[in-house]
Structure 1
Amino acid sequence: MRVAMLVLLLFPSAYAQFGANATVTSDYYWRGISQTDENPALQLELDWHSQTGVYTGIWTSNVDFGDETDFEVDFWLGYKRAYDSGFSWDLGYVYYTFEGSAAMEFGEAYLGLNFKGFEIKYSIDPDHENAYSESSYTHEFGKRWHASARAGHYDFDVAGDYTDWAFLLGHAFKVFDVELAYMDTNIDDPPAVADARVVLSLSKSW
């Protein structure tokens, strides 16, 4: 994603903002599937966005697929537009890379629509003709609490389609954020990495 990094040179720093995040989680799950064989993960993120709506970033986590792959590194580039009505849309591209396993790498184009906490998003991998559709709702209450529910469906070009869902509850403390999530899939006789589970995450943003 050299293009994403090039964006940093095209906009004055006065009109842009950097951000960073560190997360420790009891299990790195993605679309209902554990990426760490149900083990903990350390995740780091660096992002940048401008007042024009353009944004880019990089994210990494340890993974465990039972082979020699140890790390995932993702890059993205996108454009987001928000309106006073509470509606926003988000268009972008993300590329997933895996240290030691170039054959697993793939990219997705995505489009997201959000209105006052309700969000729908569609992601497609044109090279492999796989697509993922998801919808979610997030509600903030109290001064520092939020709850959300989401569901997604993975449509593969070959067999193996499945649906996943999750319920999350989070609280923002002064020093860090805590989130508790319950998730499951409709995979028949699922392996342990796709079974129902509860995940606890602690994160810090700058």
Structure 2
Amino acid sequence: MIRKLLLAGVAAMAVSAPAVAEVSGNVALSTEYVWRGISQSNEDLAVSGGFDFSQDIFYVGTWASNVDFEDPDDTNLELDLYGGVASEFGNGVGWDLGFIYYMYPSADSSDLDFVELYGGLSTELENGLALGGYLYWDPDNETVYLDTSAGFAVTDSFGVDATLGAYLDGFDEYTNWSLGATYSAVGLDFDLRYWGNDVDGGGDIADDRIVFTIAKSL
């Protein structure tokens, strides 16, 4: 089984821990839900959203999206719970340690739920280039996944980024990549992203694709 990250296509970024409690949310409409280069919505529209709570170095959150695996249970919902700790070293490099619990409530006869533990580092250079890398370990499916990203803010409202991810162990050790651009206006974020991978025999859901997303922070 092939699943997802917190928000598909979002580049890792340096985390500055807030001194007081913060609650935030997000909602998005995408031409499809793609995670690690594979369509999770069977190439159909996806509606997603979530909420986050953070205080000091601690954070917890939840995120959900419709899915379509064409399985016997007709699984149609993914619900993620996550939490962790994040802050910065004295040199401005951010660090992040946490977990994600992926749940599929409508998968009655199939055991699709799993947990990933992750750790990441990120930094923003003086020229505005942001770099990040995360390592994910799924003890149930015995997989190790490496996700790297680079982003550049061209203006205050327009940025570009690229991601490269690979299963170092498990799921045939395939690699995927994305190249995207995000523009913010009228309180919305518009993201256009190309996804590709080197999966062999994955069918239509593993084809290269372009995904358009409209998102709003709450």
Residue 99 of structure 1 corresponds to: 105
Q: CA RMSD in A?
A: 1.5
Residue 71 of structure 1 corresponds to: 77
Could you give the per-residue CA deviations for residues 173-196 of structure 1, whole angstroms, max 9, x where no partner exists? Answer: 122110000011011244111110
| Structure 1 position 19 matched with structure 2 position 27 | no
Residue 34 of structure 1 corresponds to: 39
Q: Name the one with the larger helix percent.
A: 1
| Structure 2 alignment gaps of length 5 or more | 1-18, 125-129
Residue 8 of structure 1 corresponds to: none
Percent identity, aligned pairs only? 31
**Relative contact order higher in (CA < 8 Å, ≥ 6 apart):** 2
Which residue, 177, 199, 203 being the options, matches 2:189? 177
| Structure 1 position 108 matched with structure 2 position 113 | no
TM-superposed CA distance for 1:156, in Å, is: 4.1
TM-superposed CA distance for 1:84, in Å, is: 6.0
Could you give the per-residue CA deviations for residues 132-185 of structure 1, whole angstroms, max 9, x where no partner exists? Answer: 10111011111201100010002444x622000000100011221100000110
8 A contact 2:89–2:95 mirrored in 1? no
| Structure 1 alignment gaps of length 5 or more | 1-13
Number of aligned residues: 191
Amino acid at match of 2:189: D
Whole-angstrom distance in 2 between the partners of 1:142 and 1:205:
19
Matches within 5 A, 1:1-206: 15-50=20-55, 52-67=56-71, 68-83=74-89, 85-101=91-107, 103-116=111-124, 117-157=130-170, 160-206=172-218
Whole-angstrom distance in 1 between the partners of 2:136 and 2:75:
24
Whole-angstrom distance in 1 between the partners of 2:106 and 2:147:
30
Compute the TM-score of the two structures, normalised by the length of structure 1. Answer: 0.88
